[in-house]
Structure 1
Amino acid sequence: MQFKTISMIGLGYIGLPTAAVFASRKIKVIGVDVNQKAVDTINRGEIHIVEPDLDMVVHAAVKEGYLRATTTPEPAEAFLIAVPTPFKGENHEPDLSYIESAAKAIAPVLAKGNLVILESTSPVGATEQMAEWLAEARPDLTFPQTHAENSDIRVAHCPERVLPGHVLRELVQNDRIIGGMTAKCSEVACALYKTFVEGECVVTNARTAEMCKLTENSFRDVNIAFANELSIICDKLSIDVWELIKLANRHPRVSVLQPGPGVGGHCIAVDPWFIVASDPEHANLIRAAREVNDAKPQWAINKVRSIAKALSKEDVTVACLGLAFKANIDDLRESPAMKVVAGLAALPGLKVLAVEPNICHENSPLEEVELAQLNTAIDCCDVVVVLVDHDEFKKIDLAALEHSGKKIIDLKGLANANAK
């Protein structure tokens, strides 16, 4: 099956790279986003996020006429939805309102034979719920939940599984899980992704595809929680956790991950709660891991507060290195570094300077925190807190700073890495 026009609903960290990759294969892509500024930026051939090489691909696609952005959905042969799926309330209940809005937005332009794919990481059953919203909005069309293989509209769930900073490469090279609501839905979705996916397109049903993505990220979350809990115990026992993990990993069947200030990003910090919400009675280990990782930022705040108090100064300046949720990107979603910095800024007697090389210094994401250049922050601070291992920070001689009298709280193991 040949696709001439694709609509990408949501032009964020997943939607824009996906749209760009399709466009690079000479397929017309209509990108849709509610953010007018992002739409205008893309239509100039520029990008509003940080992702290596994406700027070149988007510029070429726009210049050649294969990619165009708008705020209003237009007719297409396939619609891919990549919108946020956050929580609502304090009980980590999945919020599907963005998916609902996207479904209702594309419903008026749907036509017989169209394919609708939910790419957003979602709780089990979200794809079926999306299909219900579409059916309610378009009673003149038939959908898989009522007409199975004979439906007018094909519906599938195909979650992304890419690493920020490597999105363009992994979109192409990684295997893709194709979860159609029917066999025909999977077949059509496979045909679409095979226009650029070099990995294998593995077919399953929609619910299993949804659970697969949640499982992948929950597996990682549980393993990170082990490392984070270990780091807290080692700090209590005056053991260098970085050396300990390095030694433990010499065992041929042990591979302990690296600890940090917590877990961030829209996937690993969110997805496990979707499993917990679906079966709270039995998701005990997954819940415990989430609680360990969610508590790590407060542990870091307490650690800084204790060290600052021991300095016996009226005002202590703290330089916090990094705000993004991982290295070398500008993504602040669920960032534990942001939580640490915000928590420190709320403490009396502390002046907090944040250093984030991937964010414009005119646009601080935290009103109460000053963004500073790296050298300025280090020169005038009493305490250095390493929250993200950006490449710029790896060049810092933490040992020399400590020797000069500054207190170092290295939550990413940069000192250990630089000692190799």
Structure 2
Amino acid sequence: MVDSTKPASGSRNIGTLSVVGLGYIGLPTAAMFASSGVDVIGVDISQRVVDAVNSGKAHIEEGNLDELVGRCVEAGRLRATTTPQAADVFIIAVPTPVAHDDSRLPDVSYIQSAGRAIAPLLKPGNLVILESTSPVGTTGMLADLLALARPDLSFPQQAGEDADICLAYCPERIIPGQMLKELVENDRIVGGMTPRCAERAAEVYKTFVRGICHASTDRIAEMVKLTENAFRDVNIAFANELSMICDDLGVDVWKVIEFANRHPRVSILQPGAGVGGHCIAVDPWFIVSSAPDRARIIRAAREVNDSKPEFIVAQVESALRRNPDASIACLGLSYKADVDDFRESPSLEIATVLSARYPGRVLCVDPYSHVLPAEEAEARGLSFADIDAAVDKAQIVVVLVPHSAFLACPRPEGAIVVDPVGFWC
């Protein structure tokens, strides 16, 4: 087993590397390069994030990341700033959300802003790598933006292999809780705008990646990333739809899945409260927006998963009809178990809806509640308590995320339990 937090023997002479965006992907990536002997400049618009990194701290909870960042900063290999600085390689790892309206259109404005920020710093020989999950064609869009900003330089869409600046797309393939290990061990798809661009980008990642770096084109690599997440979304949607059908029929979905999975060619996933996070809950919409008439299954899967929170709220309200004055405990608000990420969390939305409809009667429990900004929790009307207090007070207990911190809590006697994740099944 590779120790993914142990510095490698040295860099591949790639020069100074700048990571633009120090979030859940950018910071671990920056730390892995720095631990491998590369001089890394991290860039983020948040002064809080920059200050945390420069003090040797990770602003997110992720395995040994805090220790790794501290080691890299102490060694002088990693520093952070709010203003981009000159480098030899630029990696852009900024968010790509979708509109929160019926259009669900992708928002690439953060990528555009990052491109405009680094454009004045570019010099011949630079390599720009986009890591942000993006609609097909975004790398080309970024190249056009940079070419417009820097007419004194040539880019791959203009000069092919002879371009002054190389551009590539290399999406992350990691899961929260295992980021450092998977950054090292997983294969990478390296999509260059030309073969030379792909080769140069692959050499950069081989600084610490032990998996295979598969060379491809930027558009194929963009579609691969979206395909991976859409595949998972469709399979989760099947499980979530099945759980709602079984509930209507009065059938135990957990037993149905257990026995169906004994078939040698069946592997049904576990249903849950919906789909959250900044990947699976978002990325399939990029495919839908690119091919709205073709992406029928992908769109349907998104709609099924997005409807699951409403179904759970309806289950709670059904329980309330049996006990109209009941207090409610919502266990788990982050988007998945044992991570401190609340982005696109269906559990957070469920707790918010219930808190608004039944003010003063909902207590929330999450081991990572300290990560949720206090002003956001207040705006959502959320009240937090420890698990013992919440469960003791509640007549309805809703398990939304099966955090391991909840394992010691027995199924409450006398309470109505709504358990869409099968925690006490």
**Shorter-normalised TM range:** over 0.9
Moved beyond 3 Å, runs of 4+: 361-365
Structure 1 partner of 2:221? 209
**3-state DSSP of counterpart to 2:154:** coil
Q: Aligned AA for 2:168?
A: A
Farther off after superposition, 27-36 or 337-346: 337-346
Task: Determine which of 4, 14, 23 is the counterpart of 2:25.
Answer: 14
Please tell me whether the aligned partners of residues 361 and 372 of structure 1 are also in contact (alpha carbons under 8 angstroms): no
Instruction: Give the Å deviation of 1:4.
Output: 2.2
* Separation of aligned partners in 1, 2:41 and 2:102: 36
Structure 2 partner of 1:70? 81
Farther off after superposition, 360-369 or 207-216: 360-369
Structure 1 partner of 2:133? 121
Question: What does residue range 169-180 of structure 1 map to in structure 2 within 5 Å?
Answer: 169-180=181-192
**3-state DSSP of counterpart to 1:178:** strand
TM-score computed with the length of structure 1 as normaliser: 0.96
Task: Determine which of 204, 210, 217 is the counterpart of 1:198.
Answer: 210
Task: Determine which of 310, 315, 336 is the counterpart of 1:326.
Answer: 336
Q: Aligned AA for 1:6?
A: L
Instruction: Give the Å deviation of 1:348.
Output: 3.7
Structure 2 partner of 1:87? 98
Q: Aligned AA for 1:13?
A: Y
Q: 1:51 to 1:349 in 2, by over 3 A?
A: closer
* Separation of aligned partners in 1, 2:239 and 2:280: 15
* Separation of aligned partners in 2, 1:61 and 1:178: 26
**3-state DSSP of counterpart to 2:198:** helix
* Separation of aligned partners in 2, 1:371 and 1:246: 34
Unaligned runs of 5+ in 1: none
**3-state DSSP of counterpart to 1:301:** helix
Question: What does residue range 109-188 of structure 1 map to in structure 2 within 5 Å?
Answer: 109-188=121-200
* Separation of aligned partners in 2, 1:65 and 1:184: 31
* Separation of aligned partners in 1, 2:350 and 2:298: 23
* Separation of aligned partners in 1, 2:54 and 2:271: 40
* Separation of aligned partners in 1, 2:198 and 2:116: 23
**3-state DSSP of counterpart to 1:366:** helix
Task: Determine which of 356, 372, 391 is the counterpart of 1:378.
Answer: 391
Given the alignment of the two structures, is residue 23 of structure 1 paired with residue 40 of structure 2, yes or no?
no
Offset from partner CA, 1:108-152 (integer Å, 9 cap, x none): 111110000000000000000011111111111110011110000
Instruction: Give the Å deviation of 1:319.
Output: 0.8
Structure 1 partner of 2:354? 344
Offset from partner CA, 1:271-318 (integer Å, 9 cap, x none): 1110000010110000000000000011111111110121132xx211
* Separation of aligned partners in 2, 1:312 and 1:105: 55
Offset from partner CA, 1:128-184 (integer Å, 9 cap, x none): 001111111111111001111000000000000101110000000000000000000
Please tell me whether the aligned partners of residues 342 and 372 of structure 2 are also in contact (alpha carbons under 8 angstroms): no
Question: What does residue range 38-57 of structure 1 map to in structure 2 within 5 Å?
Answer: 38-57=49-68
Q: Aligned AA for 1:393?
A: F
Structure 2 partner of 1:280? 292
Q: Aligned AA for 2:134?
A: S
**3-state DSSP of counterpart to 1:360:** helix
Instruction: Give the Å deviation of 1:366.
Output: 2.5
* Separation of aligned partners in 2, 1:82 and 1:53: 21
Q: Aligned AA for 1:149?
A: E
Farther off after superposition, 389-398 or 153-162: 389-398
* Separation of aligned partners in 2, 1:82 and 1:301: 35
Aligned length: 410
TM-score computed with the length of structure 2 as normaliser: 0.95
**3-state DSSP of counterpart to 2:17:** strand
Offset from partner CA, 1:24-59 (integer Å, 9 cap, x none): 101110000000001001110011111111111001
Q: 1:239 to 1:127 in 2, by over 3 A?
A: same
**3-state DSSP of counterpart to 2:369:** coil
* Separation of aligned partners in 2, 1:361 and 1:372: 15
* Separation of aligned partners in 1, 2:259 and 2:98: 39
Please tell me whether the aligned partners of residues 329 and 394 of structure 2 are also in contact (alpha carbons under 8 angstroms): yes
* Separation of aligned partners in 2, 1:301 and 1:266: 23
* Separation of aligned partners in 2, 1:297 and 1:230: 15
Given the alignment of the two structures, is residue 235 of structure 1 paired with residue 247 of structure 2, yes or no?
yes
Please tell me whether the aligned partners of residues 340 and 371 of structure 2 are also in contact (alpha carbons under 8 angstroms): no
Q: 1:306 to 1:208 in 2, by over 3 A?
A: same
Please tell me whether the aligned partners of residues 361 and 371 of structure 1 are also in contact (alpha carbons under 8 angstroms): no
Structure 2 partner of 1:356? 366
Question: What does residue range 88-103 of structure 1 map to in structure 2 within 5 Å?
Answer: 88=99, 89-103=101-115
Question: What does residue range 299-314 of structure 1 map to in structure 2 within 5 Å?
Answer: 299-313=311-325
Given the alignment of the two structures, is residue 226 of structure 1 paired with residue 220 of structure 2, yes or no?
no
User: Once superposed, what is the RMSD of the aligned Cα atoms?
Assistant: 1.2
Q: Aligned AA for 1:64?
A: A
* Separation of aligned partners in 2, 1:60 and 1:362: 27
Instruction: Give the Å deviation of 1:414.
Output: 1.1
Instruction: Give the Å deviation of 1:349.
Output: 6.3
* Separation of aligned partners in 2, 1:362 and 1:230: 32
Please tell me whether the aligned partners of residues 30 and 68 of structure 1 are also in contact (alpha carbons under 8 angstroms): yes
Q: 1:67 to 1:268 in 2, by over 3 A?
A: same
* Separation of aligned partners in 2, 1:397 and 1:407: 14
Q: Aligned AA for 1:236?
A: D
Please tell me whether the aligned partners of residues 144 and 154 of structure 1 are also in contact (alpha carbons under 8 angstroms): yes
Structure 2 partner of 1:260? 272
